[in-house]
Structures are given as C-alpha cells and as structure tokens.
Amino acid sequence: MFRAEAKGRALVLDNAGVVAGNEVFKDRETGSRWQQSSLEAISGPLQGARLQLYPFLLTNWEEWRRLHPDTLVLKPLPGYADRIAEKNKMIREGLSGLGAAPNDVTYHDDRLKPKTMVLGLDVDGASKAFPLDALRRARVVNDVLGGKPVVVVHQPKSDTTTAFVARAKDRTLSFEAANAEASTLVDRESGSRWDAYGACTSGPLKGSTLEALVLEPEYWFAWSEFHRSTAIYAPPQ
C-alpha cells in the first residue's frame, strides 16, 4: 500500500500488467508507469519519482474487526464477489512457498526458494527479509537494522506481523512474548507490558508508544531483485 501522490500531484493508478513477475501500474494523470516492488516510476514524465509506502496491517477479519469495530468494508467491484473464493485459494497456495518464479524473472538469489513468502523491512537503507515460516515459529524477534534496534512480532492466531523501533523514552528495549499468542509482550529492561501494536499498557513505561515500521510482504524472488544486498533472518541455533 502506498500514497498515490508524486511531486505534489494526486494520482489515480490502474493495473498495466506484469513485468518480470512484478505488477506495473499506469497513472491516469501523466501516463507514467510505476513498479510495485520498487515504488518507482520506470517510464513517462514522472520517471525516477518514488511513491511513499503507507502503513498497513495484514491480518484476519476477526482481528481487524476487534481493532476497528467501526471499520468500513470495501465493496467488491461488479463480478468480483464471485471470484473471492478463487482468489483466496490462490493466496493460500502462494503462501505455501511452492512453485517457481515467473519465466521472465532474470535475477535469481538462491538463498531461499523463489516463492518463499517473506516480510521485508527497510531501515535507513539497510534491508532484511524475515521468512514468514520463521516468524511463525519465533513469534518475537529482537534485531538491529540500519543501526537501530528493532522488534518484529508475529501473532499466530491471526497471522498478524508488526514491527517497531525498539526504543522508548531514550531506552533501548528487548522484548519477549508474555503469552502464547504474543498478543502481550514484556520488555526485559523495565518489565513493562506492551500490546503487539506497540503501546505500553502497564509498568514504568506505561503510555509510551513504539515507532511503527512498515513490513512489505513479498515473494523472495521479488524482494531479492529489488533489495540485492538484503540480509535474511535466521533463527538462533
């Protein structure tokens, strides 16, 4: 998800096909074409401009409704509602990690299988891929990226992943799950308790909020092509 705005102009974008396994969009205002993974205009009057990632949350309906009881729901386009079951099946198969990269993909990084689902994180120019299966097992990952302490939290029940700068009130923090679902965390430094969305609910740091980071869900073949120096999270041995 990104802000549909570039160089002070609001944009309306339409799907313009797929190149090397990556979605391409065309804006109606200038005819420029934009690449999904790089968020960059690859042709047209706005070539070289970049769109800004917009914070978003991938979760299930139950968790979203719990967080946002007054939420709106996007009405499917005419004819699309009948395809939702088919689309859900495609998503489940995609998350399995099976299959090869599209034939027109020219860059290959063999450190992971091409269709391994990763959650990519960029912090101050440094990037790291967190395989979804590894996060499901770890639940809470403390790390350093781009010189900043970060924490990545996965809630197994809703398959929700969030990430934050692990710092509050000028203190660097490390976290562990306080329950099986990792819906509550505790920091080792102050003993304060936090929810999985970065808010401190009790303890010395109560009222503090962690700075949220945007995770990008991608297949490995797509993430690695546009982040060629990326590191990969591996669980401690």
Residues 9 and 63 in one domain: no
Name the amino acid, one letter, at 131. P
3-state class (DSSP) for residue 81:
helix
Task: Give how many domains the chain has, as a whole number.
Answer: 2
Burial 65-78 (b: 16+ CB within 10 A, else e): eeeeeeeeeeeeee
Confidence (pLDDT) at 227: 94
Beta bridge partners of 15: 25
Find the CATH number of the domain harbouring 96.
2.102.10.10
Residues 45 and 20 in one domain: yes
pLDDT tens string for the chain (237 positions)?
Answer: 889 999 999 999 998 888 777 889 999 999 999 998 888 999 999 999 999 988 889 899 999 999 999 999 988 878 777 777 777 676 666 655 567 777 777 789 999 999 899 999 999 999 999 999 999 999 999 999 999 999 999 999 999 999 999 999 999 999 999 999 999 999 999 999 999 999 999 999 999 999 999 999 999 999 999 999 999 999 987
CA–CA distance, 196 with 163 (Å, rounded to integer): 9
Confidence (pLDDT) at 78: 81
Residues 38 and 88 in one domain: no
pTM: 0.89
Residues 46 and 74 in one domain: no
Kindly state the tokens that stand for 112.
Answer: 């992971």
Residues 26 and 68 in one domain: no
Domain stops at, among 11, 29, 53: 53
Residues 136 and 181 in one domain: yes
224 burial via Cβ count (<10 Å: 0-12, 13-18, 19+) = buried
The residue range of the domain holding 149 is 55-237
Of the candidates 19, 13, 9, which has an alpha carbon nearest to the alpha carbon of residue 1?
13
3-state class (DSSP) for residue 200:
strand
Confidence (pLDDT) at 93: 64
List alpha helices for the chain, DSSP H. Answer: 61-67, 84-95, 132-138, 220-226
Residues 180 and 111 in one domain: yes
Residues 59 and 47 in one domain: no
Phi, psi of 75 (to 5 degrees): -75, 130
The per-residue DSSP string of 135-156 comes to HHHHSEEEEEETTEEEEEEEET
Residues 192 and 150 in one domain: yes
Confidence (pLDDT) at 80: 76
Q: Which residue has the tokens 């999904």?
A: 36
Kindly state the tokens that stand for 172.
Answer: 């660097």
CA–CA distance, 231 with 178 (Å, rounded to integer): 28
Look at the chain and count its residues: 237
CA–CA distance, 101 with 89 (Å, rounded to integer): 18
Residues 205 and 104 in one domain: yes
Confidence (pLDDT) at 187: 99
Confidence (pLDDT) at 95: 59
The Cα-based distances of 209 to 14, 79, 108 in angstroms read 36, 42, 39
Residues 47 and 60 in one domain: no
Residues 32 and 131 in one domain: no
